[in-house]
Chain A
Amino acid sequence: MSVQAFGQWLYTTPAAAAIRETVWVIPTVQAIHILSIAVLVGSALVSNLRLAGVFAADEAPTTIIRRYLPWMWCALAVLLLTGLLLIVAEPGRTLNNAVFWTKMALVLFAFVLTLVFQKPLLNRQSADNGPDRSTMTKSAAWLSLGLWLAVIFCGRFIAYT
Chain B
Amino acid sequence: MSLQTVLQSIQNSGLSLWIRQNPAIFPIIESLHVVAITLVFGTIMIVDLRLLGFASHRRSANKLIAELLPFTWGAFILAVVTGSLLFTANAPAYANNTQFQLKMLVMLAAGVNMVIFHMTAHRRIAVWDSVPPPTAARLAGVTSLILWVAVIYVGRWIGFTLDILF
A residues in contact (CB < 8 Å) with B:
26-28, 30-31, 34-35, 37-43, 45-46, 50, 55-56, 59, 63-64, 67-68, 149, 152-157, 159-160
Does A34 contact B38, Cβ atoms closer than 8 Å? yes
Q: Which residues of B contact A30 (CB under 8 A)?
A: 156
Give CA–CA (A40, B35) in the complex, Å: 12
Known: A43-B42, A68-B57. A27 touches B35 (CB 8 A): no
CB distance from A68 to the nearest CB of B (A): 7
B115 / chain A contacts, CB cutoff of 8 Å: none
Residues of A within 8 A of B45 (CB): 38-39, 42
- 23 residue pairs of the A-B complex, CB under 8 angstroms, read A27-B159, A27-B160, A38-B37, A38-B38, A38-B42, A39-B42, A42-B41, A42-B43, A43-B42, A46-B46, A46-B68, A56-B57, A56-B58, A56-B67, A59-B57, A67-B57, A149-B35, A152-B31, A152-B35, A153-B35, A156-B30, A156-B31, A156-B33
Scan B25-36; emit 1 where CB is below 8 A from any A CB, else 0. Answer: 011101111110
**Range, interface on chain B:** 20 to 34
Q: Is B13 an interface residue (CB 8 A)?
A: no
Shortest Cβ distance from B64 into A: residue: A56
Interface of A is mostly: helix
Closest to B161 in A: A27
Is B71 positioned at the interface, with any CB of A under 8 Å from its CB? yes
Contacts of A64 in B (CB 8 A): 57
CB-based contact A152/B42 at 8 Å:
no
Q: Given known contacts A27-B160, A63-B57, is B31 in contact with A153 (CB within 8 Å)?
A: yes
Q: How far is the CA of A55 from the CA of B38 in the complex (A)?
A: 19
Chain A residue with Cβ nearest B40: A38
Q: Which residues between 20 and 66 of chain B lie within 8 Å of chain A, taking CB atoms?
A: 26-28, 30-35, 37-39, 41-43, 45-46, 55-58
| B32 nearest CB neighbor, chain A only | A153
Q: Are B35 and A45 in contact (CB under 8 A)?
A: no
Contact among B28, B34, B46 with A152 in the assembled complex (CB-CB below 8 Å)? B34
Interface hub of B30, B42, B46 (most chain A Cβ within 10 A): B42
A-side contacts of B30, CB under 8 Å: 156
CA distance A56 to B64 in the complex (A): 9
Q: Does B153 contact A (CB under 8 A)?
A: yes
Q: Is B157 an interface residue (CB 8 A)?
A: yes
Alpha-carbon distance A46/B68, docked complex (angstroms): 9
Query: Closest approach, in angstroms, between the C-beta of B24 and any C-beta of chain A?
Result: 9
B104 at the binding interface (Cβ < 8 Å) = no
> B46–A42 contact, CB under 8 A?
yes
Q: Which residues from chain A contact B26 at a C-beta distance below 8 Å?
A: 160
Q: Is the CB of B31 within 8 A of A42?
A: no
Min CB gap A106→B, angstroms: 13
CB of B146 within 8 Å of the partner chain = no
| A56 to B59 Cα, complex, angstroms | 12
Q: Is the CB of B58 within 8 A of A34?
A: no
CA separation between A136 and B153, bound complex, in Å? 39
Nearest 3 A-B pairs (CB), nearest first? A42-B42, A160-B27, A38-B41
